[in-house]
Amino acid sequence: MLLGGFCLAKKMIAIDLDGTLLNTESQIPEENKAAIKRAIDADMLVSISTGRATFDVKSLVGDDLDIPIIASNGGTIHDVGYKLLNTITFEKELAKEIATFLIEQDIYFEVYTETELLSPYNGEEKLQAELDKVMSANPDESLEKLWVGAMSQFKQSGIRFVPNIDHIFTDENTIFKILVFSFDLQNLAKVYKAISQNTKIAVTSSGEHILEILPEKSGKGYAVTMLAEKYGIQKEDIYAVGDSPNDISMFEVAGNGVAMKNAMTELMEIATHVTKTNDELGVAYFIDKLIAGEQEELRRIEEGV
């Protein structure tokens, strides 16, 4: 119920997008949208919490769901009515230093700004060349599976390729996140080892081939806590739903961590509940269990669901 713009919510549900609310076609099934509306009608606060950029989330959610949006892994928080509540941005010189290092490593990356995802590489061309090398060295790998993972990244709106990083780190651009994608796991591990030593940044992941580089205090957990405090919702009434390591921080601040059945091991290990996969409408399934007071049926036990 909304009263004077303030939501008297009983519970909060923070939902990841890729691998969670979205299906493998990178779409929000209508059944999930309908379940979110049922949760709102039941006086629950429902928010998106994603590594995607805010403008990309808006294009996915559309106008029929007016809910808070945590984007760029906590880089921005927008409330109901798309009211900006908070931003956490990169120090520009530090971000440029990281980008310069990534170019030296010849690895694909995107820089998340307020309006675009900017990269000095043509992603599809670069990753296709990289994939050819990986497949020649590992012929047993699934070409289709690897390429689908890359293409889900390029389905995001707002990606633009620029001649060099000087076109990225301008006075006009605010920097929220740097995303690194590579099929070469050894090179990715090398980059992670080098970058993670910098105490001014945080590094997380939303997939096996992805690194997400954030400002030190950014992260989904921080943003979920801020939003919950605004609405007076206690930790035990927060339900975080996700599938990837970048969801760990919000699982840590929520009283209830709901892992998708397709979730990565790191997240599954700390989940309190497990729902169905993203292609089995796991979000809708969980929400309806929560509304009915039957969420304990999803309580995680050693054997699984």
Regarding whether 284 and 226 lie in a shared domain, the answer is yes
Both ends of the chain: CA-CA distance in Å? 32
CA–CA separation, 13 vs 237, rounded Å? 9
Instruction: Give the structural domain span for 228.
Output: 2-87+219-298
Q: Which of 187, 215, 243 delimits the end of a domain?
A: 215
Q: Let me know: does 285 contact 276? Beta carbons within 8 Å.
A: yes
Regarding whether 211 and 96 lie in a shared domain, the answer is yes
Catalytic residues: 16
Letter for the amino acid at 295? Q
Here the CATH number for the domain that contains residue 123 is 3.30.1240.10
Beta pairing, strands 177-181 & 117-119: unpaired
Helical H runs in the chain? 30-41, 54-61, 92-104, 123-137, 143-154, 185-195, 220-230, 248-253, 265-268, 282-291
The answer as to whether 250 is a domain residue is yes
Query: What is this structure's pTM?
Result: 0.90
Q: Under 8 Å CB-to-CB from 149, ≥6 apart: which residues?
A: 207, 208, 209
CA–CA separation, 220 vs 97, rounded Å? 24
Q: What is the pLDDT along the chain (305 residues), one digit of tens a residue?
A: 333 344 457 899 999 999 999 999 899 999 999 999 999 999 999 999 999 999 999 999 988 899 999 999 999 999 999 999 999 999 999 999 999 999 999 999 999 999 999 999 987 788 878 877 766 666 665 556 666 666 666 667 889 999 999 999 999 999 999 999 998 889 999 999 999 999 999 999 988 889 999 999 899 999 999 999 999 999 999 999 999 999 999 999 999 999 999 999 999 999 999 999 999 999 999 999 999 999 888 986 544 44
The answer as to whether 180 is a domain residue is yes
Letter for the amino acid at 51? G
